[in-house]
Structures are given as C-alpha cells and as structure tokens.
Amino acid sequence: TLGLGSTVLLSLLAVATITFLALVPGPLPWFDGGLPLPGLYVAAVWAALSMAAILIAAYAWRVAEETRRMTDALGAAQMALAREQEMSALGALATAAAHELGSPLATILITAKEMLNELDDDDPLRAEAQVMLDQALRCRTILAAIGRRRDHDEHAPFVRAPLSSVLREIAELYARPLVTLEVTSRIADGQEEPTLMPTPEFRHALGNILNNGLEFARSKLQVVVEKDSREVRVVIRDDGPGFAPEVLEWLGEPYLSTRRDNGGLGLGVFIATTLLARTGAALHVENASDGAVVTLRWPSEAWRRSFGENLG
C-alpha cells in the first residue's frame, strides 16, 4: 500500500544496508571459531539480495498500483452510477411535475391573457402583465419539451450547424437587455469549425450554463469556440462577481446552490454537467480577475463518437 516514493526510499535503505554488510562482513559463528566467507561468495550474496530487494519492491508496487487503479475505477463507476440514478429519479420527478403543473399553468395563462386584454395600452401594469404572460408561455413550452419524445435523427447529416451558431442561438433565448453577447471562433490553422446536430440534452445543458452566465454578467458574456486536432473547447467568460468560494470546489454536485432564497434548487449545474459528461465533455470552472470562466473540453474521439464528426 506504499506509494512510489516510499517504496523507492525503503528499497534504497535495504540495498544500502546490504551493501554495508557486504563491505564489512564478519565471520560466521563456528564450533572452533569464526568461519570467514570468500569475497566472491560475499559479492554474490550482495548481488542476489540487492536484486531480490529491488525486484520484490517493484513487483509489490506494481500490484499495489494496479489495486489502486481498480479501486479508483470502481469509485468512478459507482459515482457515475449514482449520478445516473439521480438523473433517472429527476426525470421521473420532472414527468410527474409536468403532469401536475399542466392545469394550474393553464389557469395562469388564461388569467394573464384576460388581464392583458383589460388593461389599456398606457397602463403601467400592462408591461408587467405582458412579462407574466411571456413567462407562463415559456413554462408551457418547457413542460411540453419534457414529455416530448426525441425526434428521429436519420436526417442529421443534412441539418448540421457550426458550433458557434448553435451556441449563439441557444444564448439568445436567455438574452438580457443590458448584457452584450459575444460569440467568436478561434480555429487552429488548417482546421474547420466543428459542426453538430444539437440534441435536446445538449441544448438544455448549454442553455443552463449560458443562462447562468447571462444572469450574473454585469455587461458582457463572451463565448469562444476553439478547436485543434486533439480537442474542441468552449470557453464561457462573464464579467460578474464569479463563483462563491465555498461552492467552487463542489460545483456540479446536486442540491448545491447559493440562491435558495430566490428559489434555486441547486440542480441546474448538476444536470448540465451530467448531460455533457454523456457526450464525453469535461467541465472546468474557475474565477478570473474579472468574473467567472467555464471551460468545456471534448477530446477528438469523444466529439466524433457523440456528434459524428472527425476532427483529424
């Protein structure tokens, strides 16, 4: 169970001890006095013990390292299974919520439309009624999307779009009047911008991340698409206050939120992280000097497997 450094140190100590005994050997106890050993025999014993110590240490470390890898793999598999189970439970909960919320949402829509029709154009409450109606319609669209079956994607090769265009389209759904959205591409020489057919899962995951960035940004949200022969990267940077230090290390775990007072459940980033992980993406978050930075990375093989495009 020792690490590599401890194993090497212990082996060197053993070899040093064997070498010291070989350099200053004493005679073996014998019935008529000491029995001196020939120099060749001492050298041979030194070589045998030294090699044995090194080989046994190397073998033991390899076995222990393999055990550690298996333990880490088992832990990762258990964590992935737990996250999938939580996602499955959330899916069932979302279906039930969509069913239960249908009737009260319809009532809210009818009431909002009647209020809007009864208010005059110059009434200051008309704008608020319009916002309420728009948000209720958005809720109905979200609930309808939860229960909608995935469309068959046999025509996917004919409807592929550049990644930057897809990100701009998703971000514009959550646009805010005082926040500027900037989507750019930085493609390595000889490379073309990656394209994909965005799945509902991809749209939801990126929409959640972009919505958070737009919500916390003070004046600008930058989205940069980068690509080389090894991977595709999406860097999302805002100029807001950044992530709270107490949640930065645990971001992506379920029910972790700093906005519970405002109705946040702490599931958005967890769901987005899990959905993106299914496509092979790795998510990294950090605080910069002028805001928060979220980086998504798809290795070339993961991108090809998930979106059917070879980056080579």
Determine the straight-line distance between the first and last CA of the chain, rounded to whole angstroms: 41
pLDDT band at 311 (very low <50, low <70, confident <90, very high): low
Q: What is the pLDDT of residues 13-37, one digit of tens each?
A: 999 999 999 998 888 888 777 788 8
Report the percent of the chain where pLDDT is more than 90.
Answer: 20
- Spell out the residues 6+ positions from residue 87 whose beta carbon is closer than 8 angstroms to its own: 271, 274
Query: pLDDT tens across 58-116, in order?
Result: 888 888 888 888 888 777 777 767 766 766 666 666 666 666 777 788 888 888 888 88
Residue appearing with tokens 């969509």: 98
pLDDT for 132 beyond 70? yes
Phi, psi angles (nearest 5°) of residue 63: -65, -45
Confidence (pTM): 0.54
Nearest to 212 by CA among 253, 250, 176, 261: 176
What average pLDDT does the segment 182-196 reach? 85
Who's near 84: CB < 8 A, 6+ residues apart? 274
